[in-house]
Amino acid sequence: MSSPNENRVLGGYKAALHNPRVSEAAKEHAAEVLDQHGEHVSGHDLRSSTSPQNEHDKHVLAGYKSTLSNPNTSVEAKAHAREVLHEEGVLRDDNLGDDSAHSNRVLGGYKATLKNPNVSEEAKAHARSVLESHGQRVD
């Protein structure tokens, strides 16, 4: 596969591994193709995505993802969460992100709320309090 869309094709195979409507034979084929292209496929990728264990795993990983954006979590906890998510293939190096970039976008949304004529006064009051609690000047 040397087409310019190779990443999309491989992404389709990865999606097939997690799709409960895909047969086990198709999942095995997808795993083989991914393996041939050097993509790591762990054993849990082949389980049905509706199994209770898989649902539990999804919730656990979601907890680790939420740890990354929780401002009340320690640096050590965030580092551990990044490590676990990276090992599971949920988090790649290029999307570790900068927490401050996310915070800036959130605060920008609250600032936009203050200028939006379609927003209720109650929502604007909430936006003001959030901005003030983050040390932002509110006009």
* CA 91 – CA 69 distance, rounded (Å): 13
Q: What is the pTM of this model?
A: 0.35
Long-range contacts, 99-104 (Cβ 8 Å, 24+): 99/68, 99/69, 99/71, 102/69, 103/134
Provide the residue-wise pLDDT of the chain in tens; the chain has 139 residues: 557 788 888 889 888 888 888 888 888 888 888 888 888 776 544 544 556 777 888 888 889 889 988 889 898 998 898 888 888 877 765 444 456 788 889 899 999 999 999 999 999 999 999 899 888 888 7
